[in-house]
Amino acid sequence: MESQFSSPYQKPSESYNKEMATQKAEELNNAVRFGSIETVRKLLEEGTDVNSKVKGGWTPLHSAIQKDMGELVQFLLDKGADPHAKKDNGATPFIIAGITGNVSLLKLFLEKGSDINEYDNNGFTAFMEAAWHGKEEALRFLYDNGADVNLGRVTDEEKKALNKGGATALMDAAKQGHVAIVEALVKEMEADVNTCDNWGRNALVHALSVTEPRRWGEGNETIALFLLNNGADVNKKDEHGKTTLILAAERESQRLVEAILERNEVDIDDADRNNKTALMVAVEKTNCEISKVLCEEGARTDIGNLLEIANSNYNTELTELLCKYCKPQNLSQPKTQWTPSSKHWRSKLQDLHGRYRPMIGKLKVFHYQDFRIKRTSQGGVYLGFYDGKEVAVKIFYVGAENAVREKTCLEKCHTSNNLVKLCGWEEQKTCLYVCLSLCEKNLEEYFQMADNTAMESKDVLKTIFLAVKELHSFGFGHQDLHPSNILIDVTGKIFLADFDKSREVAEDNRGDAIISEDLQALGHLVLYVAMKGKVSFEALPMECPEEVDNCMEVEDLRTSLGTPDKNNRVSGQLDRLIYHPYFWDKKTRYRVLRDVGNESDIKTRNTKYHKNTSEILEALNHEGDPFKGWHDQIEKMVWESMGPFRDKVNKKPEKNKQRYEDCVTGLLKLIRDMGEHFDEKDEELKNKIGNPADYFLTHFPNLTLYVYRSLCNTHYNKHFPNAQ
């Protein structure tokens, strides 16, 4: 055989070495899988990497655990195998041990530093794997060692956006039909039967959602009945919008259909995304017993062509049953043209408008992810129609504390201008449906848009301030101010929403604390909006970055919201800060500077001699005056052109007129005088200055804030907007 090398001294190529390493890795992994410890020993002695990987990222250690060979596992660890190595899907040796249910190996890897709740790329923990595969002894061991029973599968944002993840060990055991494990999880380990995955499915839905008919059996039915008896919510749906009643009809379990109906909580006529009700499913499956139960409980028979379906299956018994309960169907009316007001939700609203949905009083809604606006801890927010008007429907459990707070707050604030409107509400079984005016997006979503320049940050914040002030005036604190709770409607108007954590403001110290908490959160919103959402609300910097427009004013406003004002009550703090200089326009800023400069002590007194006898001179010209040297920041001809003035009759300089001092009051005096006499100046100076307001505000952008901070707690604040 011809040598692969041109000479006996030539080194093997890199590709050859890589190929040989791959071959040795496969040999080692195969030896482990066949349990040949001698071959494993020989390959390792020849230098094969004990942590080498084959397809899928399997190491010899992973394979040894899968084969449940404890002796070989220990041998590999002694030879340097990594106890925390991960497969391509992120599974560690500890998680694989959860699949096999080997308690000794689970204990071994915990001793070597494995995290009891570590998870792979799909969010599976060892505890979940033990539940999925029915390994009860391993499940109990992991529980005793601190496994999180109600942990949902953790997934990345991309998977979460597709509603993947969130399933718990209880859901896994229920889906796989492991009765003993489900009972142990609920009765002994206090698993929550109503925790939902990212699709909004609870354990009951998982128990009913077995996809292959051959896998549905007595165990699944027993589990579903057990979960029902332990308080499982019957109003949850699967990813296709099927209710638990529809799923029970699909499984053809009369016991479950009857048990669900006995709860008297589910809408018997609710339909899935294909507009099929439980009765339609039962008829399609030619199940006379379930069809009879549903008909006797009042299921509508005028939805779908039930008789036609029964006749096509030549089922005389079912046809006779339906004839007994069926009502003559009305001829369908021609669909009317309808255009939603909303642009963002238009296609979904049109879809919902054309669907059959059982009415809940005046409300038409489909509790299904295609029509979901937002997730919540209870039932989510969905598109709907209330009395024919498109609305956002927020779903709560009847009597829940947050439901009471939301409804009470909205009802008492119904005359507000800047809070989202309550359009109405309905109750059905265990659910409260709060119907709100529909908006297009929230503030987070707005800033994520490519074109987010339509609204000025100042205008956005001014509206939010007014909304919070309005809420406080109605006697409530919000307690959950966040960009996701600031909504924007189709016209671009901003509203404050989500009052399920609101608190009534009592006339005591706690009332001030509630308002203070809102002001703290409002300070974070100031920074978030000023930065145009470029940093998430949860990761904002400690101070306003210098590159942000009007950063000093933004920082002063933010700090003022979070710092109690010893001169004023906290309940009036927001009233004052709504008129903070950050919100002033150019005209207002210039007018304030001129009016302050027009104070007699500034116009006529010399700071050097009169500071200690003049309140305004002392307030403005304190130590560390940042405007010393202001002459050097503007052209000499500007301030020289303003003095000394000449007597209009004798054309001589007026006596006792001082030049502009090198302090802030000297600058304010110049601004006042320039405003009064600008029209008298020559064209050269006018061309140099242009607009006096633009000129001085550009050269001294922080002067307005300085004057405001110096005079806000003096009677000279009479020059500020909304002076009290």
* More confident of the two residues 355 and 21: 355
Chain centre distance of CA 161: 12
Q: What is the pLDDT of residue 82?
A: 96
Give mean pLDDT, residues 624-630. Answer: 87
Q: Which CATH number fits domain 234-328: 1.25.40.20, 3.40.50.620, 3.40.50.2300, 1.10.287.3510?
A: 1.25.40.20
User: Bigger pLDDT: 65 or 14?
Assistant: 65
For residues 328-356, give the mean pLDDT. Answer: 78
Distance, CA of 675 to CA of 666 (rounded, Å): 14
Which region among 296-310, 331-345, 547-561 has the lowest average model confidence (pLDDT)? 331-345
Question: How far is residue 86 from each of residues 24, 53, 54, 92, 114, measured CA to CA in Å?
Answer: 20, 10, 12, 5, 12
Residue 468 has what pLDDT? 96
pLDDT confidence tier of residue 444, bands split at 50, 70 and 90: very high
Q: What is the CB neighbour count within 10 angstroms for residue 405? A: 19
Q: If 0-12 CB within 10 Å is exposed, 13-18 middle and 19+ buried, where does residue 509 land?
A: exposed
Q: What is the pLDDT of residue 276?
A: 93
Higher pLDDT, 568 or 136: 136
pLDDT (average), residues 330-338: 54
Instruction: Give tens-digit pLDDT for 569-593.
Output: 777 889 889 999 999 999 999 999 9
CB atoms within 10 A of CB 587: 9
User: Higher model confidence: residue 647 or residue 117?
Assistant: 117
| pTM to 2 decimal places | 0.73
Topology alike, domains 234-328 and 346-437 = no
**Residue 347: φ, ψ to 5°:** -65, -40
CA 28/CA 191 separation, integer angstroms: 42
The answer to whether the CB of 622 falls within 8 A of the CB of 710 is yes
Give residue 431's pLDDT: 87
Question: Which residue would you say has higher pLDDT here, 379 or 418?
Answer: 418
Q: What is the pLDDT of residues 481-492, one digit of tens each?
A: 999 999 999 999
Average per-residue pLDDT for the chain: 89
Looking at residue 567, what is its pLDDT? 67
Task: Look at 380 and 378; give whichever has higher pLDDT.
Answer: 380
Distance of alpha carbon 256 from alpha carbon 249, whole angstroms: 8
Q: Which CATH architecture has domain 586-719?
A: Up-down Bundle (1.20)
Which ranges of 361-436 does DSSP label H, i.e. alpha helix? 401-412
Q: What are the pLDDT digits (tens) for 227-280?
A: 999 999 999 999 899 999 999 999 999 999 999 999 999 999 999 988 899 999
Per domain, the residue ranges of the chain are 234-328, 346-437, 447-583, 586-719
- Angle, alpha carbons 451-452-458 (nearest 5°): 155
Q: For residue range 664-687, list pLDDT tens digits in order.
A: 999 999 999 999 989 888 888 889
> Residue 391: pLDDT above 90?
yes
3-state helix, strand, coil in the chain (%, to 5): 50, 10, 45
Task: For residue 190, give the 3-state DSSP assignment.
Answer: coil
CB 203 within 8 A of CB 168: yes
Question: Which residues make beta-bridge pairs with 419?
Answer: 496
Superfamily covering domain 447-583: Transferase(Phosphotransferase) domain 1 (1.10.510.10)
At residue 647 the predicted structure's pLDDT band, cuts being 50, 70 and 90, is: very low
The CATH code of the domain at 346-437 is: 1.10.510.10
**Tens of pLDDT, residues 462-482:** 999 999 999 999 999 999 999
Tell me what pLDDT residue 648 has.
47
With 70 as the cut, is the pLDDT of residue 17 above it?
A: no
* Average confidence (pLDDT) over 407-421: 95
Lowest pLDDT segment from 338-342, 450-454, 592-596: 450-454
**pLDDT score of 625 more than 90:** no
Q: What is the pLDDT of residue 114?
A: 96
Report the C-alpha gap between 306 and 286 in whole angstroms.
11
Check: CB of residue 398 under 8 Å from CB of residue 360.
no
Q: Report strand pairing: 372-374 vs 381-386.
A: antiparallel
Confidence at 608, pLDDT banded by 50, 70, 90: low
pLDDT at 656: 44
The model's confidence at residue 10, banded by pLDDT at 50, 70 and 90, is low
Q: How far apart are CA 19 and CA 418, in angstroms?
A: 69
Taking 90 as the threshold, does the pLDDT of residue 100 lie above it? yes
Residue 310 in this model has a pLDDT that exceeds 90: no
pLDDT reading at 118 higher than 70: yes
Report yes or no: 201 and 228 within 8 Å, Cβ to Cβ: no
